[in-house]
A and B are shown apart, each in its own frame.
Chain A
């Protein structure tokens, strides 16, 4: 089965395009839309679909391969790695990167650890109410 790409590259997102591709592919894999072992669009095909350069997609795929999330088989195509621990790990990594951001912003605002924890509690209970 081959997967039709439905990634969206935002022009107003300040981050480089390859980072947007990496994030969106990770999300699709984590959610199971792109199951382990399945074939994903080739580098060239994704570039054509998204109308972005081949080198940008290549860079994203090489980083995903380096992280063990996909496997690039030259001449055969690219596949989602068959690692079942992956989806949890992806979200763990994402959470950690957000937490680093939070810590940085808290330091910028001069919040104490206690104040930061309170704010986190407030955010978590707000999320509960929404559910």
Chain B
């Protein structure tokens, strides 16, 4: 068994106004990865490449042990994909779509599909054109989940959902992971969802992966320190400072390498550390993007 469900190695793609900069990304089997980036950062391009929908100009893509795009037919049997721009036939009902998907995928699980129908409060006989946005998202998710894919790829699954529908969707995603062989990649700019359910986090900005790590490590290493410094002293030459605020005696700064050793280094430099705070994933994401755009290396 391959320990990675997805392996991207130096994958690049050039468009006229956008370039994917030779990105590398591994998704461990059985994990759930949150893929975070602002609009236009390259999330959807990356996702389409790993699905074989777009062919990369450079680099290698392995999905469930198959090389993409050459072996995409084999790989796609085991992939479930849900995206915002996915269209169902407005005039057909959900039952028709379920039969259609069932005809394509041999692993279709009808009992599970019916269970999801109830859970998502959907009616199979209802025509797609009568569904709300939330119901459409849940319908496409049902179609993707019920063929029991080994890899589930979701492009912005929770965007535009009301709070109740979002929780229903997140709960359904978590249940997929009860089977340790199943892997999920979902892109989002809602960092709260990513923070809640993901094991791994990847940040993408301007076509480059700027962070790819375990979520717990990330939340642990980034801290905000509130310090008191002696007048005239500057914190700018201290190591691992990503962002700094204030210019009086009381200042606060963000570090991305917090450890007891670093704490000691700061104290020895004459800082009086008054508080150490955790950051939310959103704060970490924004600070890393800003630091990178200011030309700092993290």
Interface residues of chain A, those whose CB is within 8 Å of chain B, are 11, 14-16, 18, 44-45, 47-48, 51-56, 59, 108
Any A CB within 8 A of the CB of B216: yes
Instruction: Provide the B263-281 mask, 1 if CB < 8 A to any CB of A, else 0.
Output: 0000000000010011000
Of the stretches B50-58, B110-118, B191-199, the one at the interface is B191-199
Residues of A within 8 A of B215 (CB): 53, 55-56
Also in contact, A53 and B178, with CB within 8 A (given A16-B219, A16-B220, A16-B278): no
Also in contact, A48 and B278, with CB within 8 A (given A53-B197, A56-B216): no
Decide: B198 and A44 in contact? CB cutoff 8 A.
no
Any A CB within 8 A of the CB of B144: no
Closest CB in chain B relative to A51 CB, distance in Å: 5
Any A CB within 8 A of the CB of B61: no
- B91-142 at interface with A (beta carbon < 8 Å): none
Instruction: Provide the B156-170 mask, 1 if CB < 8 A to any CB of A, else 0.
Output: 000000000001001
Residue tally, chain B, CB below 8 Å to A: 25
Also in contact, A15 and B174, with CB within 8 A (given A53-B196, A56-B216): no
Any A CB within 8 A of the CB of B294: no
Decide: B175 and A48 in contact? CB cutoff 8 A.
yes
Interface residues of chain B, those whose CB is within 8 Å of chain A, are 30-32, 167, 170-171, 174-175, 177-178, 180, 192, 196-200, 214-216, 219-220, 274, 277-278
Closest CB in chain A relative to B176 CB, distance in Å: 9
Most chain-B CB neighbours within 10 Å: which of A15, A45, A52, A108? A52
Decide: A59 and B216 in contact? CB cutoff 8 A.
yes
Residues of B within 8 A of A55 (CB): 31, 199-200, 214-216
Q: In the complex, which of the residues A15, A18, A54, A56 contacts B177, with contact meaning CB atoms closer than 8 Å?
A: A54
Decide: B177 and A51 in contact? CB cutoff 8 A.
no
Closest CB in chain A relative to B79 CB, distance in Å: 21
Decide: A53 and B32 in contact? CB cutoff 8 A.
yes
Q: Identify 20 new A-B residue pairs, CB closer than 8 A, beyond the known A45-B178, A51-B167.
A: A14-B278, A15-B278, A16-B216, A16-B278, A44-B177, A44-B178, A44-B180, A47-B174, A48-B174, A48-B175, A48-B178, A52-B197, A53-B199, A54-B30, A54-B177, A54-B199, A55-B199, A55-B200, A55-B214, A56-B215
Residues of A within 8 A of B219 (CB): 16
Residues of A within 8 A of B170 (CB): 51
